[in-house]
Amino acid sequence: MGDFDYETLLDRARKNIPDNISTRSRWRLPEPQILIEGSNTIFRNFNDVVSMMDRDENHVYQYILNDLGTSGSRDGPRARFKGRIPPKRIKKTIANYVNSYIKCTQCKSPDTAFVREDRTTLLKCQACGATRPVKL
Ligand SMILES: [Zn+2]
């Protein structure tokens, strides 16, 4: 996964958490399959990647569009972006999403979920219990 190493992230997370949660934590995002088609970029396995994230797919999709500064469309399991976007850039965008909306900043576990508290949305870690506000 280039400059984003999921395994390292998980190794660090596993040291801090009980076995049952640890087993669940061994997720690994599929390598994004990116291809350029004319003046568009196709993210062929968008659905596979998102389903491993356990997040709302529209949220992930909109985040990617904003981060890349482009528009696009969904096409079954694929996502299509306007412009010729280097795969490295898309991987970086996914890593940004993981860091912002999935990874616990305390213990680095990806076992987190959104919880609503008054008008704020918090990212709550299932492993260590830490919370932090997130903007959705
Ligand atoms: Zn944590």
pLDDT for position 4: 54
**CB neighbours of residue 58 within 10 Å:** 10
Ligand 1 centroid vs 123 CA: distance in angstroms? 10
Ligand 1 centroid vs 77 CA: distance in angstroms? 31
Amino acid in the structure at residue 78: R
Closest of 44, 31, 30 to residue 81, by C-alpha: 44
Instruction: Give the tens place of pLDDT for each residue, 44-70.
Output: 999 999 999 989 999 999 999 999 999
Task: Give the confidence band of 19 by pLDDT, cuts at 50, 70, 90.
Answer: very low
Q: Is the pLDDT of residue 112 over 90?
A: yes
Ligand 1 centroid vs 76 CA: distance in angstroms? 34
15-19, 34-38, 105-109, 123-127: range with lowest mean pLDDT: 15-19
Phi, psi values for residue 39, rounded to 5°: -105, 15
Q: Is the pTM of this model over 0.85?
A: no
What gap in Å lies between CA 136 and CA 125, rounded to an integer? 17
Ligand 1 centroid vs 3 CA: distance in angstroms? 22
Domains of the chain: 6-104 (3.30.30.170)
